[in-house]
Amino acid sequence: EAQVTQNPRYLITVTGKKLTVTCSQNMNHEYMSWYRQDPGLGLRQIYYSMNVEVTDKGDVPEGYKVSRKEKRNFPLILESPSPNQTSLYFCASGARNEKLFFGSGTQLSVL
Amino acid sequence: GQQLNQSPQSMFIQEGEDVSMNCTSSSIFNTWLWYKQEPGEGPVLLIALYKAGELTSNGRLTAQFGITRKDSFLNISASIPSDVGIYFCAGQLLTGGTSYGKLTFGQGTILTVHP
């Protein structure tokens, strides 16, 4: 089954403790992206990747890192999380000229 | 960055009514997309628009890409309870011959349908 898998689904952490949210897709898509969703603000793009070893900043990249060492994986790294990074995070992937597939989301709370 | 204004923020309607929502941008896009998000899930693409003036339907849904390339609307006809969810518009400006790039989303329209 074609899917985008994010882990974990829920995460509670404390300020400053490094964390990684994993994202994996099984559709051999070149394009992958991370978004955060906050009430009243819709989805805002954090980082995206057009292919392996190619990443670009979205609208809200501050405080986040990504890597794309393999086509299927696109982890989101928070080196020193802060409370303003409490949000619902979505990973998405797509092939050229085809629709984006979204994961089911990761609800992150930073205390 | 680019700003997308989506309206209305929320709608409460009776089953069978038609629904209309729209997005306007401060700058042009060359692709407009409409997504629906149900509780606990990620957004799912409903309609994609690639050309200014394009009008596209998907069942009871109809969307249009504005002539100015700065706006788009989505209509849902004869709403049913399962239309409930959050609807997002998204704009994309492709440059350099790429097929994907920075995607900007609207704030979302929360739709509630009363049976």
Q: What confidence tens digit (pLDDT) does each residue in B83-104 have? A: 999 999 998 877 666 656 677 8
- pLDDT computed for residue B92 by the predictor: 84
Q: Which residue of A has its CA nearest to B41?
A: A104
Residue A52 sits at the chain B interface (C-beta within 8 Å)? no
Q: How far is A97 from chain B (nearest CA, A)?
A: 6
- Provide the H-helix boundaries in B25-114: none
Distances from the Cα of A73 to the Cα of A30, A49, A69, B15, angstroms:
11, 11, 7, 42
Q: Is the pLDDT of residue A98 over 70?
A: no
- pLDDT interval class at B2 (50, 70, 90): low
* B101/A4 CB distance under 8 A: no
- pLDDT computed for residue B40 by the predictor: 87
Distance between CA atoms of residues B84 and B70, nearest Å? 27
In contact, B48 and B33? CB cutoff 8 Å: yes
Residue A45 sits at the chain B interface (C-beta within 8 Å)? yes
Q: Is the pLDDT of residue B1 over 60?
A: no
pLDDT digits (tens, 9 = 90+) for B8-67: 999 999 999 999 999 999 889 988 999 999 988 999 999 999 899 999 999 999 999 999
- pLDDT computed for residue A40 by the predictor: 83
Q: Which residue of B has its CA nearest to A90?
A: B42
Q: Is the pLDDT of residue A97 over 60?
A: no
Give the mean pLDDT of A60-81: 97
The identity of residue A5, as a single letter, is T
In contact, A107 and A66? CB cutoff 8 Å: no
Q: Is the peptide bond before A8 cis (omega within 30 degrees of 0)?
A: yes
In contact, A78 and A36? CB cutoff 8 Å: no
Q: How far is A90 from chain B (nearest CA, A)?
A: 7
A·B CB contacts under 8 A: 61
Of the candidates A111, A105, A109, A110, which has an alpha carbon nearest to the alpha carbon of residue A9? Answer: A105
Residue A38 sits at the chain B interface (C-beta within 8 Å)? no
- pLDDT computed for residue B99 by the predictor: 57
* A40/B100 CB distance under 8 A: no
- pLDDT computed for residue B95 by the predictor: 65
* A92/B41 CB distance under 8 A: no
